[in-house]
Structure 1
């Protein structure tokens, strides 16, 4: 079996060539599986004829569209690793990331090519530039127009297990974004989990809020609908537009962040709308509340299934749980400060808990594995776990643990396994607050659960406030209010303090602040930048502690 998922598309196109494979909700444009395959062949020929060879990295900065999917498959067919970076990470991070991965080719919309002309230094390794879109000839011919011509079938590159397929950058929610190396074998393993565990295949219609996931859908023979939304701002999605395409194209399966589904669930409830065709929903990118699952269950068919996979850019997915189990068994425990249950390990994945450390761990000592119920650092190994970051030895040493001929990845998260093998997430390792004064460690997700239950609180964040001596810190809770809240500030602080005093996990917390709008990540709009909130809180309390 070929490790290249572009080969899977070729085979799918042979089997169901005339069935619609992809639709752009914005334009209404549709392509059959055969047309998707042929257009990716056309792009591959165009790129190859201009000199792009297997092994040469090509940065892709094209809006979510049929051409984004076809260009990605084209690069897979050539064997040229595709570099994907979220443009919303800010130009400083963006330029640093580009310089670090040293692309040989660049494919972008005119706006991206204009950006390239303004900041030349990070692009000095680029030999081939291609414009995707009309630019009045300023950036050369439109590659999308060239691909409208007929081209022969393109021979698919046959990779080895370790051949690089892509470099995908992390969101940077706990530090600078890092480039994760995806070998072809990683994509193939992910494809297998999506097909076998989540049951996606021919007959399904997928509307992914994360554009890259359309690759898996189309390769598996499921129709993909590219939604009319900005994928870097899922919390700002126009729910009426998003659900209109679900209804129009009879979408049966959709993946998105909790921020997106919060908007969709609320909007559907307000309009008394039920999404009758949507039978599978995946929510990932941040902890998913039982309240959101219940809200979504109210707008889905009775036989619909909600999954909440757990993972990271470096390893996705590694665990999963169904919404019914969350609502029935784990959500009440979450509200009582026991963390968020993210389910059992998926086939081919092993999860373990080790003592928490901020230092590199060179070798795994299995005798240090913690027993069930004990909070520690989450580590994982398996066929969807990536082996390294690009050009980042320091982070590789911090994130990987040698185990004979294999390795474990440190998720950067803390949590525990329960007696039935379910994994409970208790927050990021970097977000725990270690307080010498109280000889206690505070974990973000368990502590925040108590305050999130307040009816006027939209979300909360545990942060560390360094003391003026610099030798210790104190824990603080920052809250963002519900939009319609009109509660008096002093009254809210009093009520939050009472909640804190009534729970042993938060008994020592005495500092509470209100922030107007939490900073969050660009990919999911749900991961809270607690480091930024800590700096903000420290400035607010300057001279008081």
Structure 2
């Protein structure tokens, strides 16, 4: 084994690294699918009428064969209405079967999926549909107010290209399209390097950026997860995050690769999470750390069917508790929309579970930690994590500025600070990018600040993350009011209403505090690290919108 310094290391290979190499070898030896459409077809041919996905709260089950047949029919119906290979199609839909059918239909067409957050306001939809060059929209009738409130709908996106679940004239009924049951015959090839989706994610530049992701990106991510968890006993999964996020997309593909059944919730419920997991005999799920605290330990814990859980960002104590309570394998990892799986904590890495580590390089990924001087850091030295490998993002759509900033040659700059230990295990220690990570969302601090600074009383705003046990981080805004504006005359109700009109609900600040002036850098920029360090408890002396109190 070669050490980070390049010398020959006489020690035996770390068992976790050996496990990841074996997983990569397993994937490399596979007859790899050429596209998501080909993958769906192969799974249907192999598994037929076995249940692929169950929307258990709605009593709807689709078999592998039905997923294939019905997405074929929808692909043909979309093609009959002018959707061709390369067309950008926004999909704004809750967790219903039509999301998955639309996604697979677009994959078979070779069209480009643009997953769209169902919480977006008309203002945010204006930006996303125009920036993505959306030529069509598939949506739900309940979400039409955002579309109809837009002021800048793309000219090509007329009513005849708006396909609505539960809707009709002046739009096109999605149910009617499926009922046509058209025959599908692919008129053009779709290959692994074709663009599959523009997955939007926020960063430091304000507005979300569309990550250009290929079919191979999604299949490699799903198959790496299936091979990397070492979970031969995983045949049922619980998917609860909204499907416009990347996690349930790869989790469904992973479950299908394992030949299992995905149980899909409408939305997350901490109060019902344990009942779902127990009653549905779930083997795998992304387990929120906060869920451990909602149900005290009991004799029923060992009656769970759980075998493996994603324990993203958990403390070592919580990992131990979950493993002891449920007899489950709990492992952390690190990924981003841009890179897919960057690193995984292998099943064999039991010797690292007392550390807050994100693991070792995932299959087909290479990482390095780079210091401010541009040199690779020694073990234990903090620097920026950079990642390269097969089928990471092709770039940000129509954002040459962001591409130039985000790549160091073929290496993607994550904007996160990491350290590596002597065995090659990596741990996150901080962040360079100015954002809040709330639940599964990256929230650009600058985007929220720009909305706050539209208020006539606000001279300057600074948004920072506040640690939160449930959502990892919440949004806090520090406000500097204009001269002559008294704090007691400033309306927080008006502030929150303004934010709700211009930002998705998850971006609206939970905490608001006032400040006379900010600590500054020599260039007069707000020094947020000093602002955070000076606060101690970031919730103190702030108004808490959720609890409606001053803390």
Q: How high is the TM-score relative to the length of structure 2?
A: 0.70
TM-superposed CA distance for 1:35, in Å, is 0.9
CA contact (8 A) 2:233 2:283 kept: no
1:14 partner SS: helix
From 315, 321, 331, give the equivalent of 1:307. Answer: 331
Instruction: Rate the CA distance shift 1:202–1:330 in 2: closer, same or farther, 3 A.
Output: closer
CA contact (8 A) 2:55 2:264 kept: yes
TM-superposed CA distance for 1:347, in Å, is 1.9
TM-superposed CA distance for 1:70, in Å, is 1.1
Instruction: Rate the CA distance shift 1:330–1:36 in 2: closer, same or farther, 3 A.
Output: closer
Distance 1:121 1:475 in 2: 38
Confirm or deny that 1:129 pairs with 2:155: no
1:207 partner SS: strand
Instruction: Rate the CA distance shift 1:463–1:424 in 2: closer, same or farther, 3 A.
Output: farther
Confirm or deny that 1:269 pairs with 2:299: no
Q: How high is the TM-score relative to the length of structure 1?
A: 0.71
TM-superposed CA distance for 1:30, in Å, is 0.6
CA contact (8 A) 1:190 1:384 kept: no
Instruction: Rate the CA distance shift 1:283–1:148 in 2: closer, same or farther, 3 A.
Output: farther
Query: 1:441 — aligned with what?
Result: none
The 5 A counterparts of 1:53-72 are: 53-72=84-103
Between stretches 86-95 and 461-470, larger displacement belongs to 461-470
Query: 2:309 — aligned with what?
Result: 281
TM-superposed CA distance for 1:21, in Å, is 0.8
Query: 2:431 — aligned with what?
Result: 428
TM-superposed CA distance for 1:397, in Å, is 0.5
CA contact (8 A) 2:358 2:428 kept: yes
Query: 1:353 — aligned with what?
Result: 369
CA contact (8 A) 2:122 2:150 kept: no
The 5 A counterparts of 1:289-304 are: 289-300=315-326, 302=327, 304=328
CA contact (8 A) 1:206 1:217 kept: no
CA contact (8 A) 2:222 2:251 kept: no
CA contact (8 A) 2:214 2:391 kept: no
Between stretches 462-471 and 112-121, larger displacement belongs to 462-471
Confirm or deny that 1:105 pairs with 2:124: no
TM-superposed CA distance for 1:192, in Å, is 2.4
Instruction: Rate the CA distance shift 1:250–1:196 in 2: closer, same or farther, 3 A.
Output: same
Query: 1:380 — aligned with what?
Result: 387
2:295 partner SS: helix
Distance 2:39 2:477 in 1: 46
Instruction: Rate the CA distance shift 1:60–1:460 in 2: closer, same or farther, 3 A.
Output: closer
The 5 A counterparts of 1:219-368 are: 219-220=256-257, 221-229=259-267, 237-255=268-286, 261-269=288-296, 273-274=300-301, 276-284=304-312, 287-300=313-326, 302=327, 304-321=328-345, 329=352, 331=354, 340-356=356-372, 368=375
Q: Count how many residue pairs are aligned between Structure 1 and Structure 2.
A: 434
2:239 partner SS: coil
Instruction: Rate the CA distance shift 1:318–1:467 in 2: closer, same or farther, 3 A.
Output: closer
Instruction: Rate the CA distance shift 1:329–1:33 in 2: closer, same or farther, 3 A.
Output: closer
Distance 1:472 1:191 in 2: 41
Instruction: Rate the CA distance shift 1:67–1:471 in 2: closer, same or farther, 3 A.
Output: closer
Structure 1 residues without counterparts, runs of 5 or longer: 230-236, 334-339, 358-364, 433-450, 479-508, 521-539, 541-545
Query: 1:466 — aligned with what?
Result: 519
Instruction: Rate the CA distance shift 1:459–1:58 in 2: closer, same or farther, 3 A.
Output: closer
The 5 A counterparts of 1:418-497 are: 418-430=421-433, 465-467=518-520, 470=524, 473=527, 475-476=529-530
CA contact (8 A) 1:6 1:156 kept: no
Distance 1:47 1:200 in 2: 37
Instruction: Rate the CA distance shift 1:203–1:415 in 2: closer, same or farther, 3 A.
Output: closer
The 5 A counterparts of 1:196-235 are: 196-199=227-230, 204-210=235-241, 211=243, 212-217=249-254, 219-220=256-257, 221-229=259-267
CA contact (8 A) 1:113 1:139 kept: no
Query: 1:490 — aligned with what?
Result: none
CA contact (8 A) 1:4 1:157 kept: no
2:73 partner SS: helix
Query: 1:400 — aligned with what?
Result: 407
Q: Deviations over 1:304-351 (max 9, x none)?
A: 21121101110121101158957x6464x6xxxxxx421111121110
Q: Deviations over 1:119-158 (max 9, x none)?
A: 14143232552433223x3443431343145433443863
Instruction: Rate the CA distance shift 1:474–1:41 in 2: closer, same or farther, 3 A.
Output: closer
2:367 partner SS: strand
1:23 partner SS: strand
CA contact (8 A) 1:345 1:351 kept: yes
Query: 1:232 — aligned with what?
Result: none
Instruction: Rate the CA distance shift 1:307–1:17 in 2: closer, same or farther, 3 A.
Output: same
Instruction: Rate the CA distance shift 1:163–1:268 in 2: closer, same or farther, 3 A.
Output: same
1:190 partner SS: helix
Distance 1:323 1:477 in 2: 40
Instruction: Rate the CA distance shift 1:97–1:463 in 2: closer, same or farther, 3 A.
Output: closer
Distance 1:49 1:84 in 2: 22
Distance 1:517 1:84 in 2: 38
Query: 1:191 — aligned with what?
Result: 222
TM-superposed CA distance for 1:264, in Å, is 2.2
